[in-house]
Structure 1
Amino acid sequence: MYFTFAWRYFRARKSTQAINVIAWVCVTAIAVGAAALIIILSAFNGFEDLVKSLYASFYTDIKVSAVSGKVVEFTPNQLSAIQKVPGVAHYTRIAEEKALVQNGDYQQFVSMKGVDEAYQDVTGVAGKMFNGKFNTGTADAPGLVLGAGIENSLAVNADRNMNPLTVYMVRRTKSNTYNPMDLPLPGYANTSGAFLIQQDFDNKYVLTNLDFVRRMMGLSENQYTALEIKITEPGVEDKVKKALSTLLGDNYKVQTRFEQNQSLFSIMQLEKWVIYGILTLIMIIAAFNIVGALMMLVLEKQKDIHVLKALGAHDGYIRKIFLSEGILLAGVGTLIGSVLAIALCWAQIQFKLIPLEGGSFIIDYYPVKMIPGDFLLVVLTIFTIAVLAAWIPARKAAKMEVSLKG
């Protein structure tokens, strides 16, 4: 019943043209604000998905490493038990250490990551090759798969380099510590290809044969720096993590992909909610249009209010009518804004209308991903703002004295 009155007031022509103008200005402001909120949140979703996909190419679903120190031991029995854990699809053994790679007069400090033959089943690096092929060779004839930034720094063509590169790596002692008096041991390896994923990886990592790195590091049998695991399906990370923690004990640290990059993902979420907060403040400012429109409507409908009260309508009834009017204005604006946002996001997804400037990105357009939860959040936000904005005019209408004179 309240919305019946509100709808009639919304549709009816006002005696003062300014009221109609202010009402539609209010609807337009809310529509623009709602569309902006949805589009910005969808753009952040797109960038978040893009970054996650890039990091997912390098970081695995689960990583097992040492709680203290860098070296961890995995016996054959432990590896067999890990493979049998429900949710574990594949695992790969890792030996990673800082190294100096030299090509004549060019040299670069890198993170040298030794991987085994199962690495391609666990990560997507092999599908991100920039040139050459993914081939880590053997312990005696290792192949280096360079990040694109490392390839550039060393001035090599990774797919057709003829001369081996020199690799220097500090050897660990039997107690798994460094002896600063020992000179780094040189090793020699040729390049086989280069990958291009993201600058954090391209400028830092070199992938090569696991046994070659283990020998350079001086690791004993069954010693590695980590175990990286791919799960069978999304959503079972926490179950697999719990099972592995129980199986391996307190000396092993088990991390999901989110925990491996917690600071990055937390910052991305924080940025999204900061933008949401800023746009919500803009919506609150736009809501002053609702206050103005309803205040003028209350003044115009004074006689209606007096008649309704004379017929027995209580203050709460009158208040709900004008609260409904505020919600109706916000609802119409939100509906228009949502349709506009869906149309623009769809057009961006289909036709890539808005490009990314600079030309140095993985993609050349703004990524967009619409999530139903964002639409619900925007609706609830605008509904709350509308109710608060309409409260003062509705309360004023409810407090009017009954008078049928004139």
Structure 2
Amino acid sequence: MNLSFFIARRMARPSPENRPGVMERIAVVSVALGVAVMILALAVILGFKREVAAKMTGFAGHVAVTDVRGVGTLDAEPVVRSAHVEELIRTTEGFRAMAPYALRGGIVRTADAVEGIVLKGVDGSFDWRFFREWLTEGELPRVGDSVRTKDALLSRTLADRLRLGVGDRVEMLFVEPGELPRRDRFKVSGIYASGLEDMDGAVVLTDLRNVQRLAEWTPEKVSGYEILLDDLAGADAFAARLSDALLYDESDDTRNLVATSVMERYPNIFDWLRAHDVNGAVIVVIMLVVAFFNMASALMILVLERTRMIGLLKAFGMPDGQLRRIFLWRAAFITLRGLAWGNAAGVGLCLLQRATHLVKLDAEGYLLSEVPVALGWGWWLLLNAGFVAAIVALLVVPACVVSTVKPEETIRYE
């Protein structure tokens, strides 16, 4: 049997003579509080990144292929649909799905309000998975049918501002430089709410052919292709590979075409998300420092309370290293108790927020209308293991105080 572990376990066993002191309780509370705060911070940060990235993917795909002369603009140079280009996209490693799209900036006018919008046209190959989850009223627009429809999918934000409901007719104006405004009327087929206010306040979806007609494009012309991948993390690498393939392809169909990831097209949003990683690291470091100082204080108290025992064990021949391990095991037991309480509190609050959406956010400032949480076994286990390892490793230094205890002084008096 490990003698250090055995003695530490006997010291930790509750009894009338061995009651936990104030410093030990403070250490347990400190560890619990630190772990709970770290779990909440990481769950919220990862939740933000996951939710915002997923919503941006729903609106813009992982990668877009457009004309290089119109990247990031609404009225971009059109891309001519080509079987050769589509084959290049499909054969690029990481590809999952793609759909052509067309964009046009316009104005929605009702008797109550006027709003600027982005009319996005899609066809039958468009992945409606995200908008199907966000649909709150009505149905998705019919697109790609043999007969072109005037269905339009509006956000709850736009519908409230314009006082529109499912089945209402709405007029849209499209102004081109040097040309007379073009008008068209659409029927509201459904209303969605993604929670991403910046996009909800602008994007309206309809049939691809409606946008092509308004732009006076032939059926072969689109704004570009939206591409979905297996994982957002590979979007930049996929865009680089596809851009190289398009650049060095000798066909006229690929001239001026470039692939850009969603992170490149919306850098302000993803830079904001990356800034949260720094916040998470700062929180983890602060909680570790606070827990360490409280644990170090508790360990010093434990050592001072057990100086006579340390002197006796030294007199019996126990080396300093084994004595240090006794108090490191004792510190590990305190840390594990705090860890249990901290996990119960942190995970419990995360599950409560996930189930009730109790804590709300200002969508204009935080992009989302409620605090998202993301719980995963991987980072949760790593956080717990890393916290225990870091605390015990840092306590090696204060545990060295046992080597200063002299047996002849500690056991001289009863």
TM over 0.5: yes
Cα displacement (A) at 1:268 = 3.4
Cα displacement (A) at 1:60 = 1.8
- CA–CA distance in 2 between the matches of 1:159 and 1:213? 20
* Mapping 1:264-279, distance limit 5 Å: 264-271=269-276, 273-275=278-280, 277-278=282-283
In structure 2, what is the equivalent of residue 185 of structure 1? 181
Cα displacement (A) at 1:307 = 3.5
In structure 2, what is the equivalent of residue 135 of structure 1? 142
SS in 1 for 2:405: coil
* Mapping 1:342-353, distance limit 5 Å: 342=347, 345-346=350-351, 352=355
Of 343, 348, 355, the match for 2:358: 355
- Provide closer, same or farther for how the CA distance between residues 166 and 55 of structure 1 changes in structure 2, counting only shifts above 3 A: closer
Cα displacement (A) at 1:321 = 3.1
Number of residues of Structure 1 aligned to a counterpart in Structure 2: 389
SS in 2 for 1:207: strand
In structure 1, what is the equivalent of residue 27 of structure 2? 26
Of 72, 82, 93, the match for 1:76: 82
- CA–CA distance in 2 between the matches of 1:353 and 1:83? 42
SS in 1 for 2:59: coil
In structure 2, what is the equivalent of residue 216 of structure 1? 214
Q: Is the 8 A contact 2:361 2:368 kept in 1?
A: no
SS in 1 for 2:109: strand
In structure 2, what is the equivalent of residue 35 of structure 1? 36
- CA–CA distance in 2 between the matches of 1:126 and 1:87? 24
- CA–CA distance in 2 between the matches of 1:12 and 1:132? 64
Q: Is the 8 A contact 1:94 1:225 kept in 2?
A: yes
Q: CA RMSD in A?
A: 3.9
Of 74, 92, 101, the match for 1:94: 101
CA deviation string 1:126-166 (max 9, x = no partner):
554433541358998644333333334444445132xx614
- CA–CA distance in 1 between the matches of 2:400 and 2:191? 65
SS in 2 for 1:124: helix
CA deviation string 1:103-134 (max 9, x = no partner):
45743221122223322x36533554433541
Q: Is the 8 A contact 1:115 1:210 kept in 2?
A: yes
- CA–CA distance in 1 between the matches of 2:327 and 2:384? 22
- Provide closer, same or farther for how the CA distance between residues 283 and 153 of structure 1 changes in structure 2, counting only shifts above 3 A: same
Runs of 5+ consecutive residues of structure 1 not aligned to the other structure:
171-179
Q: Is the 8 A contact 1:148 1:202 kept in 2?
A: yes
Cα displacement (A) at 1:226 = 2.0
In structure 1, what is the equivalent of residue 59 of structure 2? 58
- Provide closer, same or farther for how the CA distance between residues 346 and 188 of structure 1 changes in structure 2, counting only shifts above 3 A: closer
Q: Is the 8 A contact 1:113 1:210 kept in 2?
A: yes
- Provide closer, same or farther for how the CA distance between residues 125 and 293 of structure 1 changes in structure 2, counting only shifts above 3 A: closer
Residue identity in the other structure for 1:376: L
Residue identity in the other structure for 2:207: N
Query: Percent identical across equivalent pairs?
Result: 21
In structure 2, what is the equivalent of residue 116 of structure 1? 123
- Provide closer, same or farther for how the CA distance between residues 219 and 346 of structure 1 changes in structure 2, counting only shifts above 3 A: closer
Residue identity in the other structure for 1:64: V
- Provide closer, same or farther for how the CA distance between residues 99 and 360 of structure 1 changes in structure 2, counting only shifts above 3 A: closer
- CA–CA distance in 1 between the matches of 2:306 and 2:188? 81
In structure 2, what is the equivalent of residue 247 of structure 1? 245
In structure 1, what is the equivalent of residue 336 of structure 2? 331
In structure 2, what is the equivalent of residue 229 of structure 1? 227
Residue identity in the other structure for 2:183: G
Residue identity in the other structure for 2:59: F
- Asked if residue 169 in structure 1 is aligned to residue 175 in structure 2, the reply is yes
SS in 2 for 1:213: helix
- Provide closer, same or farther for how the CA distance between residues 365 and 208 of structure 1 changes in structure 2, counting only shifts above 3 A: closer
Cα displacement (A) at 1:242 = 5.5
- CA–CA distance in 1 between the matches of 2:359 and 2:18? 47
Runs of 5+ consecutive residues of structure 2 not aligned to the other structure:
71-75, 249-255
